[in-house]
Homo-oligomer: A and B are copies of this chain.
Amino acid sequence: MAVTIRDIAKRAGVSRGTVDRVLHNRKGVNEEVACRVRAIAKELGFIPNLAGKALANRKQPLRIGCLLPSIGNPFFTEVIAGFRQAERELSDFGVSVDIMEVKSFDRAVHLDAIETLQSKHYDGLCITTINVEPVIAAIDRITETGTTVVTVNTDISDTHRLCYVGPDYYLGGTTASGLLSLVCKQQEQKILIVTGSFNIKGHQERIRGFLEGLTTRQMPHSIVDVIESLDDNDKAYERTLSCLKEKPEINCLYLTAAGVQGACQAVQELGKTGNIRILSFDDIPTTKALIQKGVITFTICQEPQRQGYDAIQKLFFHLMNQQEPVVDTITRTIIKIRENLDD
């Protein structure tokens, strides 16, 4: 039978109320008793019962706020589904989830959004934002007020976030290179890299992992060019098109970010489908369609729905039961080809 605060109270010769105060580090307890209670709790290996806590907390439900740069970016649809699933499963424990969506990775927009979130005094935050100085500072201000922050999909370095839930971008890159090597054998690849932004660390990591992976696999290759799509289909289309025209030797496209459809459209219009091998990331509907058609050979995914789900879960368990250390959740690097696209 599990240990309860009753057991601790009896053993320490105090009331349950006092035990509760000690366990929550609330002031107004004689330091001596506090010590004794803490010692006994540790000795007995006390773990608070979740059901009991949830029931008692019902009057002051747990409020979680989220920030996603999801407007106009279909990738985040799945992340949101994960948030919502977690909210549903945890509703019996008094959890509510608000999602704030913004467009783009603009610095001012994000700072503004974070300000707004702070003003709402959530118990916890799940956020995907940009890793730049003023944003980092804003987040530190929030954590200092006692709000717990989890970073989702994109980590924010050197801040006091509880943990990160998202992919290993470098591993995504090496996996792409590994599979490319298997598929192309010793045929030299003349590669055009279409990345999202030179300023986004995840995209850079996908390139770094890819290049190092090609070397490890001793894959003959050359990088013909690296261009930015800014996660935009139109830009990806134009720039890919002009680059392919200029450099007809290109036989491989490595798409590290959004803008997949645009880049593929350029290839298709030039009648080069089949002659140019295309690799991409994620599996938004348009990408799936291109794999079905055989335009893209494979895509590397990152469990977006799980990112949303796990972020909320982590936050919840931590808020309900401080103490045990929290580690990052690195979501899986999933290879999808035509056959296993739908699961």
A interface residues (Cβ-Cβ under 8 A, vs B): 2, 49-52, 54-55, 91-93, 168, 171, 174-175, 177-179, 182-183, 213, 297-298, 330, 332-340, 343
Contact A334 B334 (CB under 8 A): yes
Compute how far the CA of A203 lies from the CA of B211 in the bound complex, rounded to whole angstroms. Answer: 38
Contact B337 A332 (CB under 8 A): no
Which 6 A-B pairs have CB atoms at the shortest separation, nearest pair first?
A178-B339, A51-B54, A50-B92, A335-B335, A175-B339, A51-B51
Compute how far the CA of A52 lies from the CA of B92 in the bound complex, rounded to whole angstroms. Answer: 9
Question: If A54-B51, A183-B183, A298-B182 touch, does A332 touch B343 (CB 8 Å cutoff)?
Answer: yes
Within 8 Å by CB of A179, from B2, B50, B178, B337, lies B337
Contact B338 A178 (CB under 8 A): yes
Contact A174 B343 (CB under 8 A): no
Nearest CB in chain B to that of A334: its residue = B334
A332 contacts which chain B residues (CB < 8 A)? 334, 340, 343
A343 contacts which chain B residues (CB < 8 A)? 168, 171, 330, 332-333
A-B contact pairs, 12 of them (CB 8 A): A50-B92, A51-B55, A51-B92, A175-B337, A178-B339, A178-B340, A179-B337, A182-B182, A182-B298, A332-B334, A333-B343, A334-B335
Contact A340 B171 (CB under 8 A): yes
Compute how far the CA of A308 lies from the CA of B293 in the bound complex, rounded to whole angstroms. Answer: 36
- New A-B contacts (14) at CB < 8 Å, excluding given A2-B91, A178-B338, A178-B340: A49-B55, A50-B93, A51-B93, A52-B55, A174-B339, A175-B339, A175-B340, A178-B339, A179-B337, A183-B183, A213-B339, A332-B340, A333-B343, A335-B340
A2 contacts which chain B residues (CB < 8 A)? 91-92
A171 contacts which chain B residues (CB < 8 A)? 339-340, 343
Contact A182 B340 (CB under 8 A): no
Compute how far the CA of A183 lies from the CA of B337 in the bound complex, rounded to whole angstroms. Answer: 12
Compute how far the CA of A91 lies from the CA of B336 in the bound complex, rounded to whole angstroms. Answer: 36
Contact A339 B177 (CB under 8 A): yes
Distance to closest chain B CB from A343 (angstroms): 5
A338 contacts which chain B residues (CB < 8 A)? 178
Compute how far the CA of A213 lies from the CA of B339 in the bound complex, rounded to whole angstroms. Answer: 8
A333 contacts which chain B residues (CB < 8 A)? 339-340, 343
Distance to closest chain B CB from A259 (angstroms): 24
Compute how far the CA of A49 lies from the CA of B174 in the bound complex, rounded to whole angstroms. Answer: 46
Contact B330 A92 (CB under 8 A): no
